[in-house]
Structure 1
C-alpha cells in the first residue's frame, strides 16, 4: 500500500520534529490548521479543529491574547503578572501564548479557570520537574503544544484558582494533567512522560473530552478515566482518544476505564509491558482502527485487561475491536454486543481509518516545532 507508513519498534520517528518537505497534515484534526503558513496570525482557528467528544471545546476563543513572558512561579496567591499562573487564573476567556522558549517549574499545582487556551506553538515550552496542571470543576480548556514531564507530588497550601478566589489545597497527586469534574477539555499535540501518578487522569464526572495527537513515553500508569468503582457519577463520561502514539517504556493504562463511553480511535500502540486498555465497572470501550504491536513477552500480548470481575460478568461489557491492526502476537479479547447502531453522531465519534493507516495518521504526534511564517 503506497500511502502506508510503517514505523515499528526499532524505528524512531521524527516526533515533534519539523517536516522538511511539503506540509503533511496527516489526520483530519491537523488538516484543519497545520498547513497554513499564517497560523500565528490566526491562532484561534485552532479551536475550530477539535473533533470527537470534546468537539464543542472553545478554550479561550474570542478572548484577548495573554503573552507569558516570565517562567517563574513564586507566589501561589498573588501570582506575578506575565507568569503562566497569573494567566490561567484570570476571569474570562484568554488565549495564552509564550514570548520565548521557557522551562516552567511549578511550585504547586497550576489550577486553571474556565475558558482558557494554553498554546505553546512558536516556542519550546517545558512544564517540568514540579507540580502539574489541574482542571477542576471548570469547562472549556485547550492545552496544546507543550511538553509536560517529571511531574512530582507537592505539599499543597494556599493556592489561587481565579481572580476572586484562593483556598487551601491538600497534597497534589502528581498527575501531569488532572481533569476533575470538568467538561469540554481538549489536549492536543502535547509530549508527556514520567509523572509521579498518571500522565492524564479524568475523574469525578468529567466528560466531553478529546485527547489527540499526543506522544506518551516513559511511564507506568498512563491514563485513568474514572477513579473509583464506587463512583457511578462517571457514567456520564464520554472521552475520545485519537491519533496518539503510545511509545517507549510504557507499562499499562492506555487508558484504564471505569463506567462511561470511551472511543479509542487510530492510535499507535508500539509499546506496553502489562496491557494497553483495561477497566472495571462496565465501561463501553470501542477500539477502532488502532495499531497494537505486542511486546515480546509472551505473557503480555493481550491488549485488554478486565479487573476485579469474573468472565460471567465482563462477557456482557461492550468492548469491541473494529478494524484494528494486531501485530507481533497482540490480541484483543472482545466482549458484549457488536457495535451495529452507533449511539453518537459522526461528529462525536471520529470516522476511523483502518489500523493499517495509523503510522501515517500519528506521524506528527507530540509537540510540533512550529515556526512563525511556516506551516507547522
Structure 2
C-alpha cells in the first residue's frame, strides 16, 4: 500500500528531512498495544517451512534463490496473494489472509528475502499517481516497495500494478522508518474507523519510530483538529511544514485549520502557497484534468493535461489523457498526434500495444468520418 495520510481528510506517508529529529513525541501510553518490529515482521512457522522447502533447500547462489522466491511470490501455486488497499497487515496476517496492500506485501517480501539470505530493504518511491477502479485516481500517496541487492545489481519488486507514475526513484530506508510507515497506516486506519485512542497511540508510535515522518505529523494534526485541540493540531501541521515546505497535504490542512479558527490572514497566506505549489505540480494538474473529464468539460481537461505536460513532458499517461480529451472534444487530428507520442514514450510492450490499437481505431474513425463527409457532399 501507500503510506496513509489524512488531509483534514486522511493521507499516506511523506518523505521528510532529519531536521526535526529532536522533536520526538512522548512515548505512547501502554493501554493500546503497538506491534513491535519483531511482531510485524514475524514469519509463521508454516510459511518459513514453505520458504525453506521451495527457495532455500534447492541450493544455488543468491540469484537462484531470488528467482525461486519470485516464483513463490508471484506465480500460480505460490503464495497466491491478492491486492487489498483497505487494511495494513503484519507479515503473519498477510499470510493468513492472503491479502496485502503495498506496505504489507513489501514487509512480507523483505522478511522472506532476508530469511532466504538475501540483502533486502523496504524502499520509499515517493509520491505516486495510482488508479484504482473503485476510487479513481489517487494522488499524494507515498508508495513503498521492496529492493534486493546482490552481485552488483539492485532490483525492485512491487505488488501494485495500479501505479501510473512516480515522482522519484525508489530509495532504501531503514527498518525504523519502515515501522513508522506501518504504525502511521494503522493509526490512520483506526482514525477512519473512529477509534480515536488507538489512532493516537499508533501515530505517536510512528513518530517515535521516526520523528521526521511528515505523514504521521499530518495525521496527528488531523486527529487533534477533529478533537478541537486546535493548538496541538497547529503544532503538528507546522512541524510537518518545516520538514517538507512544499507539502500540499500539509498546506491544505493548515488552510482548513485557519478557516476553522477564523484567521483570514493565515487562510489567504497558506492558500496562496498551496496554489503556487499545485500550479507547479504535474501530478496535481493531471488529477484536475481527470476531474474535468469526469464532468465532461474537455476544454478544461485539455488545459490541465497541457499544464501537466509542460512540467513532465515524457509521461506517456499524460499524453494519453490529452489524446482522449482531444478525441471527446472532436479534434481527431490532435488526438492522433498525442496518441502517437504516448506510443513512442511508453516503456512497456503492453502499453505500446494498447496505444497502437487506439491509434488504429482513430485512423479508422477518421477514414469513416471522411467517407461520410464525402457522401454528404
The TM-score range, normalised by the shorter chain, is: under 0.3
Higher-Rg structure is 2
Q: TM-score, normalised by structure 2?
A: 0.25
| More strand per residue | 1
| More helix per residue | 2
Q: TM-score, normalised by structure 1?
A: 0.25
